[in-house]
Chains A and B, each alone.
Chain A
Amino acid sequence: MIVEVEGLRKSFGSTPVLTGVDFAVPPGTVLGILGPNGAGKTTTVRILTTLLRPDGGSVRIAGHDVVRSPRAVRAAISLTGQSAAVDGGQTGRENLVMIGRLMHLSAAESRTRARGLLDRFDLNEAAHRRVGSYSGGMRRRLDLAMSLIGRPRVIFLDEPTTGLDPASRQDMWAAIRELVADGTTVVLTTQYLEEADRLADQIVLIDGGRVAARGTAAELKRTVGGRRLEFSFPSPDSYDVGISRLPGGIGDPGARLITVPSDGSADTLRRLLHDLNGVPLSTVTEHSPTLDDVFLTLTGHRPGSESPQRREVSA
């Protein structure tokens, strides 16, 4: 195991943020840390990357303890944080060479690797432009390239695609997959279930400072089982009546959606529609459980707006 976390605890003042987190990551795999806002994802990453001291528990990265030998840990890792840590006043190439030098590569080696990374991340044409003129997607790609110049063994990505448009997100995903193909270990946090679904070999769901569930995406989906029926209401009033008539449902008043477990049979649908008799209804959709449902079932709330694959049924 290249990352070993045991009984990790951390409080800020009297507010506990992590209350005993355990997980381990085999080399060359991707671990997705999933959780609602404020669950402790970023705190976990900050401890694993030596930026925060834990209150208790142990963390070993590439065999080194983060508290006892932070410098050895730093030589083996890199962090790409939520906001792209790049200098707008330097060119893409200058940013890369600077980090290479600070990773203690020679000037020549830094330049060679910078050239290779600019190529790989499709930043060649912009290499000599100041980063201030880059698009959001280009900044993130440069940020990731800067993380790679020291050839880290473990890469931490804290919400790597938050705020990116769908095309840039796809580019980042492709870049992350390539890393793993090279044998690098990746630990990423995300609020996007689709991201965890596509990239992560193993998922750890953190809620309220502890691990609420763990496993592969398929295993997690199986834990919530069955199929889902989602009722969409045209008005807040109809939603309110709906939620009183569907006692097993999990509601989202903002989106006026109620999700109900189902066995997929026509009888179940007929019975539920009968319960809703006379209540205005926009659509009913049926879908297989997604990580969204895992999240909803285990944490009681939605992570953000995601659109799972679904079949529309006219109401």
Chain B
Amino acid sequence: MTTTVTTTSAGQYLADTATLIGRSVRLTRRDADTLLMSIVLPVMLMLLFVFVFGGAVEIDGTTGRTGYVTFVVPGIILLCVGYGAATTAMSVAKDMHEGMVDRLQTLPIRSSSVLTGHVVASVARNVLATVIVVAAAFVCGFRPTATAAEWLAAAGLLLLYVLALSWLAAALGLLAGSVESASILSFFMLFLPYLSSAFVPTDTMPAVLRGFSDHQPVTPIIDTVRGLLTGTAIGSSAVLAVAWSVGLLLVGFTAAALLFRRRTRR
């Protein structure tokens, strides 16, 4: 009676995934609140840090706004990635709790593709936010010294981190009992950049805090991106940054896959 195919070939799998990516991107594009947030937030944070704190913070002996803009750009990018991840966790939780996942589960497809859709939309949203942060920074006086290759390397590392955080967010969305709790669970992703070298050098922090911030993923990523863009020392940060990102990506992806199985196969 129907012409439905009952086995899934690789090509069919890709086509299904493409359909669900199209869905997530379309939903993101039309979610006015989220979109506004991902454009306005980077600009607000940039202005806040540069004009409110910037005048008072002394970095490596130089004070003033222009110096602080240059210092703070990578931090604001990562802060926005955290907010973006919270949005992703909430969209995944919404699908889990408002019936959509049940509908997808009863279709002859590999329903975990719905997560790939959310992750791709999440990466797209974060790329947009990052471009806006950099543009806002330029307006505020950001003058990076990076070559094309260094720009590319910085973009590559950020993309890897965004991908890792997007999968982690998907896992949190699956773990959450409701859309609200997904937003609460994502809180730590918002908080990590504050306890890192993003806004002040870690050697200004008390020993305990410094110990934490020197050994969490955000610090080496910030130091690497900052080094690539503005020529500060990178040292071992690059290796650590890549290792953290790949590690988080593996953990996020595996957790999401396992939680999806558990959630959909009882």
Contact surface of A with B, Cβ cutoff 8 Å: 49-53, 71-72, 74-79, 81-85, 87, 89-90, 94, 98-99, 101-105, 109, 130, 146, 150-153
Known interface pairs A71-B7, A85-B102, A104-B5. Does A99 touch B107 (Cβ–Cβ under 8 Å)?
yes
Docked-complex contact B12 and A98, CB < 8 angstroms: no
- B106 neighbours in A (Cβ, 8 Å): 49-51, 74, 77-79
CB-based nearest A residue for B26:
A90
CB-based nearest A residue for B113:
A102
In Å, the complex CA distance between A224 and B3 comes to: 46
Docked-complex contact B7 and A51, CB < 8 angstroms: no
Docked-complex contact B103 and A85, CB < 8 angstroms: yes
Docked-complex contact B7 and A102, CB < 8 angstroms: no
Apart from A50-B105, A103-B108, A104-B5, list 4 A-B contacts with CB within 8 A. A71-B8, A75-B108, A102-B16, A150-B2
Does B23 reach chain A (CB closer than 8 Å)?
Answer: yes
In Å, the complex CA distance between A237 and B3 comes to: 65
Chain B, residues 42-79, CB within 8 Å of chain A (1/0): the string is 00000000000000000000000000000000000000
In Å, the complex CA distance between A147 and B53 comes to: 56
Known interface pairs A72-B6, A74-B107, A79-B106. Does A101 touch B265 (Cβ–Cβ under 8 Å)?
no
Known interface pairs A51-B264, A79-B106. Does A89 touch B26 (Cβ–Cβ under 8 Å)?
yes
Docked-complex contact A102 and B31, CB < 8 angstroms: no
CB-based nearest B residue for A97:
B19
The 9 closest A-B pairs by CB, nearest first: A85-B99, A85-B103, A89-B27, A75-B4, A75-B108, A83-B99, A74-B108, A89-B30, A79-B106
Known interface pairs A75-B2, A84-B99, A103-B2. Does A98 touch B108 (Cβ–Cβ under 8 Å)?
no
Total A-B residue pairs with C-beta atoms closer than 8 Å?
89
Closest Cβ of chain A to B266, distance in Å, is 6
In Å, the complex CA distance between A49 and B109 comes to: 14
- A79 neighbours in B (Cβ, 8 Å): 102-103, 106
Does B104 reach chain A (CB closer than 8 Å)?
Answer: yes
Docked-complex contact A87 and B266, CB < 8 angstroms: no
CB-based nearest A residue for B114:
A102
- B5 neighbours in A (Cβ, 8 Å): 75, 104
Q: CB < 8 Å: which of B23, B31, B108, B264 contacts A104?
A: B108
In Å, the complex CA distance between A130 and B30 comes to: 10
Q: CB < 8 Å: which of B6, B102, B265 contacts A71?
A: B6
Docked-complex contact A51 and B105, CB < 8 angstroms: yes
In Å, the complex CA distance between A109 and B4 comes to: 12
In Å, the complex CA distance between A62 and B265 comes to: 22
Query: Which of B20-42 touch A at CB < 8 Å?
Result: 20, 22-23, 26-27, 30-31
Docked-complex contact B266 and A89, CB < 8 angstroms: no
Known interface pairs A103-B2, A150-B2. Does A87 touch B103 (Cβ–Cβ under 8 Å)?
no
Docked-complex contact A151 and B27, CB < 8 angstroms: no
CB-based nearest A residue for B31:
A89
Docked-complex contact B109 and A102, CB < 8 angstroms: yes
Q: CB < 8 Å: which of B23, B30, B264 contacts A98?
A: B23
- A103 neighbours in B (Cβ, 8 Å): 2, 4, 107-108
- A130 neighbours in B (Cβ, 8 Å): 30
Closest Cβ of chain A to B6, distance in Å, is 5
In Å, the complex CA distance between A144 and B7 comes to: 25
Closest Cβ of chain A to B123, distance in Å, is 19
In Å, the complex CA distance between A53 and B108 comes to: 17
Does B152 reach chain A (CB closer than 8 Å)?
Answer: no
Docked-complex contact A90 and B27, CB < 8 angstroms: yes
- A71 neighbours in B (Cβ, 8 Å): 6-8, 108
CB-based nearest A residue for B8:
A71
Closest Cβ of chain B to A213, distance in Å, is 29
Docked-complex contact A53 and B266, CB < 8 angstroms: yes
Docked-complex contact B2 and A151, CB < 8 angstroms: yes
Does B14 reach chain A (CB closer than 8 Å)?
Answer: no
Q: CB < 8 Å: which of A81, A87, A104, A152 contacts B102?
A: A81
